[in-house]
Chain A
Amino acid sequence: MAMTARQRARVSLYVQAGIFVVAVAALILATDWKTLTTNVFNFGKIGPMFPDIFFSGLKNTLIYTFLGFIVGLSGGLLLALMKLSSFPLYRWIATGYIEFFRGIPALLVFIAFGYGVPLAFGVQWNVAVVVMVSLGMVAAAYIAETLRAGLQAVPKGQMEAARSLGMPQWRAMVTIVIPQAFRIVLPPLTNEVILLTKDSSLIYVLGLTAAQYELTKFGRDGISSLGAGLTPLLVAGAFYLVVTIPLSLLARKFESRSARTKR
């Protein structure tokens, strides 16, 4: 007995819903709720995290991300311009840098700048400096590629028009090409900030004082002090979302705006 297309679609919907219900039921049955409520969803004991999570954890995460982004953006712009340079050596250096820092785990970079550099040069770097340099150098590699694509997406006629008006190359770049490239890369750049927000947690490899804790470290500290199991980490995770979801919405807004103004 053959089914019509509409019947087939309805059956397919029932099957999908059925699979979902079974999966959720299995998950609920298999879960050890008693342990879970004391060790993961134990929100009764997290009171002491507040309000410090705002003034230490969240604040430091935002500061570290911002520092890393500033270094990443300026370094990335420099690398992008080097990559587009007519001087081959600059292109090679930029390519080498980008491939290197995109190819190794960011964690290794944090260890290198947190422990390696102080050992090698006998200097003691402030935690903020280590984050700024480590996060910034990794971010620069990713941002450089984003910016390069943005710079190349600006039509060639823009540079020609600017040069025709007597602008030197650098002036045309600064006044005409780079502002347009930034508009193009605003959505991917915002996504870059989201990645940085999360990667700022890597500073945990260094010994931090309480005042230097960012969200993840703050949460880990709560695990040992509050007796609520992993619950503090869950809270810390929620705070990341408070930062990253608005950024994500912002990126989407930039995207729809640039789609609208595209000629």
Chain B
Amino acid sequence: MNDVEIHSRTQSGRVHAAGVAIKDLRKSYGSNEVLKGISLDVAPGEVVCLIGPSGSGKSTLLRCVNLLEQPNEGSIHVGGFDATDPDVDIDKMRRKVGMVFQQFNLFPHLNALRNCTIAQTKVLKRPQAEADKIARANLERVGLGHLADRFPDQLSGGQQQRVAIARALSMDPELMLFDEPTSALDPETVGDVLSVMRNLAKEGMTMLVVTHEMGFAREVADRVVFMDGGVVVEEGVAEHVISSPTQGRTKEFLRRVLDPTHIEIAE
């Protein structure tokens, strides 16, 4: 899987798309085993949604892919990189992997444009003019070209999250990781962020998305993976897993999140 790479066209031009291959991944915090042997493949250009209850390990799994968490056992291949090789150049690998956080994590001391250029100039060594151009194009792409001069605290949550997506896209990633990108948002701004993600998926970006948005998962994901208690309980075509799950735990989880009268407890 690690050597599989396809090309697809996006608005910003020709990009590589990287696949992910995770095998027997284990991760513990002390005696608490959070991931109990996860295997999961994401093909280049594929969109996979990770769903599951709080504490099921889905965010930890996502964070292992770009090594924000160090796995204890197993292997992860991202594009041409063996992430679990101790000698891997983490920084070089991360340039290919965009990450979007639940809390946005925009740099508050930089305006939207600079948020999108800082890593381009400091990491990719692009000239400032080129970085500006790419950043503006990506802010345009997420519908925020007119707010390039705003600082994060002058933007709504949904706008901040879209800037965060533009920031990640400005590095020309081959894979995008989304860690509950809409969980911290006011309900009325969730739609804008999801529509940006939907467009990204259409353009052929490889995406691994931890989400509670079942509507989005059903519509956009090629595959849905249901995790519970640190294992993959069920996975398959989005429509099948969400509409006709086969496992009891999946049914129970979906019944609770899809039941409009059920009050969900935030993670």
Contacts and interface: CB of A to CB of B under 8 A. Distances in A.
Interface size class on chain B is 20 to 34
Contacts of B109: 179-180, 183
Contacts of A160: 68, 99, 101, 105
Contacts of A161: 99, 101, 105-107, 164
How would you classify the secondary structure of chain B's contact residues: helix, strand, loop or mixed? mixed
A161 to B, nearest CB: 4
Given A171-B122, A180-B109, A263-B108, A165 B168 contact: yes
Contact of A165 (B103, B123, B153): B123
A163 B118 CA distance: 12
Contacts of A158: 105, 107
Interface in A150-164: 155, 157-158, 160-164
B95 A166 contact: yes
B9 interface: no
A165 B99 CA distance: 8
Interface residues of A, number: 20
A167 B123 contact: yes
A176 interface: yes
Contacts of A175: 118, 122
B119 A166 contact: yes
Q: Residue among A161, A162, A168 with the most chain B CB within 10 A?
A: A161
Interface string B37-72: 000000000000000000000000000001010000
A261 interface: yes
Given A161-B99, A171-B122, A175-B122, A166 B105 contact: no
B212 interface: no
A166 B116 CA distance: 13
Interface string B157-199: 0000000100110010000000000000000000000000000
Contacts of B99: 160-161, 164
Nearest to A262: B153
A259 to B, nearest CB: 12
A163 B168 contact: no
Nearest to B177: A164
B94 A166 contact: yes
B248 to A, nearest CB: 36
Interface string A137-151: 000000000000000
B68 A164 contact: yes
Nearest to B94: A166
Given A160-B68, A171-B123, A263-B153, A165 B105 contact: no
Nearest to B106: A161
B221 interface: no
A163 B122 contact: no
Contacts of A168: 91
Interface in B93-119: 94-95, 97-99, 101, 103, 105-109, 118-119
Contacts of B150: none
A180 B122 CA distance: 17
A103 B122 CA distance: 41
A263 to B, nearest CB: 5
Nearest to B95: A166
Contacts of B240: none
A166 B171 contact: yes
A217 B94 CA distance: 59
A157 B99 CA distance: 12
Contacts of A166: 91-92, 94-95, 119, 123-124, 171
A162 B105 CA distance: 9
A165 B101 contact: no
Contacts of A162: 107, 119
Given A157-B101, A171-B122, A175-B122, A164 B66 contact: yes
Contacts of A180: 107-109
A125 B107 CA distance: 45
Contacts of A165: 94-95, 118-119, 123, 167-168, 171
A162 B99 CA distance: 10
A183 B109 CA distance: 9
A127 B108 CA distance: 43
Shortest 4 CB-CB contacts between residues of A and residues of B: A165-B119, A166-B95, A161-B105, A164-B99
17 contacts: A160-B68, A161-B107, A162-B107, A163-B91, A164-B68, A164-B168, A165-B95, A165-B118, A167-B122, A167-B123, A168-B91, A176-B107, A176-B118, A180-B107, A183-B109, A261-B108, A261-B153
Given A162-B119, A166-B92, A167-B91, 5 more contacts: A155-B105, A157-B101, A160-B105, A161-B99, A167-B123
Interface of B: 66, 68, 91-92, 94-95, 97-99, 101, 103, 105-109, 118-119, 122-124, 152-153, 164, 167-168, 171
